[in-house]
Amino acid sequence: MTLAHAVARRWDVVVVGAGPAGAIAAREAACRGLAVLLVDHVLFPRPKVCGCCLSAAALGVLETIGLGGVPTRLGARPLSLFQWAAGRQRASLPLPTGAALSRALLDAALVGEAVRRGVAFLPGVLATVDPDRRFIRRVILRQGEASVSVDTRVVVVADGLGGSALSRHRGFDSIAHPASRLGAAAIAEQAPGWYRPGTIFMACGPGGYVGLVRLEDGRLNLAAALDPARVRQTGGVGAVVAQILRQADFPAIDARSALVWRGTPALTRRRARVADDRLFVIGDAAGYVEPFTGEGMAWAMASAVAVTPLVCEAAAQWTPSLAAQWTSRHRRLVRRRQATCRWITQALRDPRLAQTLVGAAARLPGVAIPVVRGLQAPLAECLV
């Protein structure tokens, strides 16, 4: 697919952003006979600033849409244990079935599944949605010095936390919480054997928290949510992460790994609106809170499946009620679940309270386990 090919036809749906939410939304629309163009501003396979945990809820969504075998085919490592530490307190809690898989592999595979269903994929292209809302939607595509526009019946925006697809739209600002932490991630080529496969390790400290998990190839993925002020004061992301691991009595990562940290904008944010005429916003682009055990990808995947019936209706005939329906459905599906993560991560900001919670989880696992299971519970609402 090239810009010339993209502009030569009218599309039923243009999906902006080819992460899990965008790729699944594109595939599901194509499965229902729609002509779909999927656009992303980077080339694939791509590195991604993200944890690499697929929760039980995420795996359930993949199973529902017939892609349940993808993680296994890619060699994903099963996850069964959550080891949580704050200060000298430590708790080990069983997890519902989960998996660890690098995002470069997962994202490329989901795009491949979309292409196999007939989706046209255009990587390395920056997309901006024109605010004109007449009888069609227009998306401006830029690649290098070239710029074209394509017409479509519906636009689905899934361009993540820092996406710019809606930069020309009033009322669609992505508003960061004033106290939001920054996201950072890295992959260690070498790491102590103490970080065994099958376990999500989480270390909490005054500067934030760090999650660590072994990937399918034995490398160690590190994903952190860090206080911006602490990053500045301590001398960078790597220094804060090392401090948090040390305070939690987790082994230091071998310096020979030469970690390359990649960052995100503020993690906790909300989109003022998630729908407009012939326009739906899904995934991280619709709002996000700091995740706890891999919830973010489950929310994104479920929103992609949930929006599909509305996309199909909109492509056939747009009615204003469809925007209201998505606003309501998104609130039920995602925002209520995000509230639980928001409560937990807010509690972990207080070092003493964090240690108290971890200690209580160790002593009273019968109370803590249902909370973890609740975070990973199946997202059955995505089928409604």
Q: Give the Cα separation of 158 and 17 in Å (integer).
A: 5
Q: Give the Cα separation of 382 and 308 in Å (integer).
A: 10
- Closest Cα partner for 349 from 227, 202, 178? 227
Whether residue 216 is predicted with pLDDT greater than 60 in this model: the reply is: yes
Q: What are phi and psi of 366, to 5 degrees?
A: -65, -20
- SS3 at position 375: helix
Q: Of all helices (H) and strands (E), which one includes residue 12? A: strand 11-16
Per-residue pLDDT at 93: 87
pLDDT tens digits for range 102-152:
999 999 999 999 999 999 999 999 999 999 866 789 999 999 999 999 999
Whether residue 50 is predicted with pLDDT greater than 80 in this model: the reply is: no
Q: What are phi and psi of 296, to 5 degrees?
A: -55, -45
Q: What are phi and psi of 246, to 5 degrees?
A: -65, -45
Whether residue 256 is predicted with pLDDT greater than 60 in this model: the reply is: no
In order of 6, 41, 120, 156, 342, the CA distances from 123 in angstroms are 12, 6, 10, 16, 33
> Which of 98-107, 108-117, 210-219, 291-300 is the least confident region?
291-300
- Please say whether the beta carbons of 59 and 97 come within 8 A: yes
- pLDDT higher at 343 or 266: 266
- Please say whether the beta carbons of 127 and 16 come within 8 A: yes
- pLDDT higher at 278 or 266: 278
b/e for 283-317, b at 16 or more Cβ within 10 A?
Answer: bbbbbbbbbbbbbbbbbbbbbbbbbbbbbbebbee
Q: Point out which residues pair with 6 in neighbouring strands.
A: none
Domains of the chain: 3-74+102-177+269-346+379-383 (3.50.50.60)
Per-residue pLDDT at 350: 79
Distance of alpha carbon 306 from its chain centroid, rounded? 16
Whether residue 197 is predicted with pLDDT greater than 50 in this model: the reply is: yes
Q: How far apart are the first and last CA of the chain?
A: 34
Structural tokens at position 70: 């993808």
Q: What are phi and psi of 191, to 5 degrees?
A: -155, 155
For residue 360, what pLDDT band results from cuts at 50, 70 and 90? confident
Whether residue 307 is predicted with pLDDT greater than 50 in this model: the reply is: yes
- SS3 at position 169: coil
Per-residue pLDDT at 95: 83
Omega before 45 within 30 of 0, i.e. cis: yes
For strands 36-39 and 11-16, give the pairing. parallel
Average pLDDT, the chain: 88
- Please say whether the beta carbons of 381 and 332 come within 8 A: yes
